[in-house]
Amino acid sequence: MADPVMQESRLEGRETAPLVSLVLVVLGLLSAVVGLVLFAGSEQTGKGFAWEFASPVTAALIGAGFLGAVPMMLGAAMRDHWEEVRIAVLPALLLVSGLLVVTVMHLGETRVGGGPVIAYVLSLGWLAAMAALPFAILSALAAQSREPALPMERRFPIPRWALPAIAVEGAAGLGLGLALLVEPGWWIPMLPWDLQVVDARALGVWVLVLGVALLQALVEDDLERVRPGLAGVMMIGALGLVALAWHHAAISGRGWPTIAAVALVGGMFLTGLVGLVLHRRAVREQAVPTAA
């Protein structure tokens, strides 16, 4: 027998447009490919990516971001309501738009102008994808705006005690991401591994997007709505910690910059993990009266 709560929820909210789900699947598949190239091949980006990273640490961290986005994109693609999907769509639009701007700004540093055949082809593919994806997402948003909408109540509000921590982490990501984008030359010497400007700006886009996603979760204020994002943040944090441990030899010193990097990445993992645990507990508690 169908869950009465789920039957009732189908009468609420805005249905997800089919184009939105399709775009999310495409984003998930592309993220898996790019993530594997950057994470597994973090020491060979000169031959296998659009540009060569100054340090495998940055490549692996950005690869972790793409791989962690896969469960978020594919999980959101299976949701029925726009309110449960936009936690993936809006950050994705910011991500691909930001990476497009960074790529165009540093086009001369990519392999588009020549280089190894594989890197040249991947550079063209990267540029084409970054140029096409913003328009695909905007088209999906236009289709979504035509879907009829009903009010949708929040099923599982985020516990009040968790809000300050999410706000601090989101604000930190937003601030650091903007700083790396606007003034990379000032911040590069402060980071405990080698970066060039294009690396710093690409990393800044990712940090900015994660910060915005966390702040968006505060606005959504519903564990059910942000569940795909929780899975993504947890995966990004976990893979980010693996990346830092894997390439620890390329990280110089153990001062506050290293501590801050580990804390930021570890905080994302804990945020996603705790959020998923709280969601599962809330679902179980709601089901008890129904079973009775």
Q: Output the pLDDT for position 87.
A: 92
| Residue with tokens 């400007």, as numbered in its chain | 197
pLDDT-based confidence at residue 4 (cuts at 50, 70, 90):
very low
Look at residues 209, 219, 193, 224 and name the one whose alpha carbon lies nearest to residue 268: 209
Q: Is the pLDDT of residue 291 over 50?
A: no
Q: Is the pLDDT of residue 194 over 60?
A: yes
Q: Which amino acid is at 75?
A: G
Q: Is the pLDDT of residue 290 over 90?
A: no
pTM, whole model, 2 decimals? 0.89
Q: Output the pLDDT for position 109.
A: 86
- Name the token pair of 31: 């993220």
Higher pLDDT, 288 or 185: 185
* 9-18, 49-58, 254-263 — most confident range: 49-58
Q: Is the pLDDT of residue 78 over 70?
A: yes
Q: Output the pLDDT for position 27.
A: 96
Q: Output the pLDDT for position 254.
A: 66
DSSP 235-292: HHHHHHHHHHHHTGGGS---SHHHHHHHHHHHHHHHHHHHHHHHHHHHHHHHHHHHH-
Give me the half-sphere count of Cα atoms (radius 13 Å) on the Cβ side of residue 179.
12
- Which of these ranges, 132-146, 148-162, 196-210, 262-276, has the smallest mean pLDDT? 148-162
Question: Between the CA atoms of 227, 136, 212 and 271, what dihedral angle is there, to the nearest 10 degrees?
Answer: 30
* Percent of the chain whose pLDDT exceeds 90: 64
Q: Output the pLDDT for position 111.
A: 81
Neighbouring residues of 270: CB distance < 8 A, sequence distance ≥ 6: 237
- Rounded Cα distance between 172 and 291, Å, is 43
The whole-number average pLDDT for the span 144-171 is 87
Which element (helix H / strand E) includes 96?
Answer: helix 86-105
Q: Output the pLDDT for position 289.
A: 56
With left for phi above 0 and alpha for psi between -120 and 50, is residue 53 left, alpha or beta? beta
- Which of these ranges, 104-113, 115-124, 215-224, has the smallest mean pLDDT? 115-124
